[in-house]
Amino acid sequence: MNLPNKLTLARICMIPIFVFFLLTDMVPNSNYIAVAIFIIACLTDALDGHIARKYNLISNFGKFMDPLADKLLVSSALICFVQLQLIPAWIIIVIISREFIISGFRLIASDNGIVIAASWWGKFKTTAQMIMSVLLIVNFDGVFFNTLEQVFIYIALVLTVISLIDYLLKNKNVLKEGSR
C-alpha cells in the first residue's frame, strides 16, 4: 500500500476519535483536541493528493477511498453540529444530499468511461465547509465570532447549491449516457 493510500486510511481512522472529542464532556477543552484532529485530517487530504499526483501513485483504491474519506469526515462533523445544535438539520440535509447526488452522478459517469474532475466551485465549497467546521468546533463566544460562524454556514450552503448546479449543467450528457 502506497503512502497516499495510508494517509487516506489514517484520515478515516481519525474520524471516530474526532467525533469522540467533539461530542464529549469528559475531557476539558475537548473541542480544541477535536479541531486539531479535524485540521490534521484535512491536511492529510491535501497531502495525499499532492503526493499521489507528484509521484504518480494514483491507484483505483485511492480514487475510490479518498473522496469517500472526505465525505465521511465532513459528514461526521456536520451531523455532530446538528447534535450540538450549532446548525439547523435542514442545512445539513442539503449539504449531505449534494454529496450523495454528486457521488451517484460520478458513479454513472464512471460506468460510462467518463471521469468528472473536481470543479472550482466544488473546491470553494469544500474550503468554505472546512472553515465553517473549524469555526463551529472552536465555537468562540462573542458577537463577531457568532456572526462569522453564521456567515460561513450560509456561504457553505450557497456554494453547495452552486457547485451542485455547476456539476449537473456541465455534465448533463452523463445523464443521457446513463439512461441507455
Task: List all residues 6 or more positions away from 97 whose beta carbon is below 8 Å from its beta carbon.
Answer: none
Tens digits of per-residue pLDDT, 100-153? 998 888 888 878 777 777 789 988 998 999 999 999 999 999 999 999 999 999
- CA–CA distance, 24 with 20 (Å, rounded to integer): 6
Place of cell 494514483: 58
Task: List all residues 6 or more positions away from 123 whose beta carbon is below 8 Å from its beta carbon.
Answer: none
- CA–CA distance, 162 with 67 (Å, rounded to integer): 19
- Determine whether 168 is exposed, middle or buried from the number of CB atoms within 10 Å of its CB (0-12, 13-18, 19+): middle
Tens digits of per-residue pLDDT, 36-57? 999 999 999 889 989 998 999 9
Tens digits of per-residue pLDDT, 55-64? 999 888 888 8
pTM, whole model, 2 decimals? Answer: 0.89
The rounded percent of the chain whose pLDDT value lies above 90 is 69
CA 96, chain centre distance (Å):
9
User: What are the residue ranges spanned by the domains of the chain?
Assistant: 1-85, 88-180
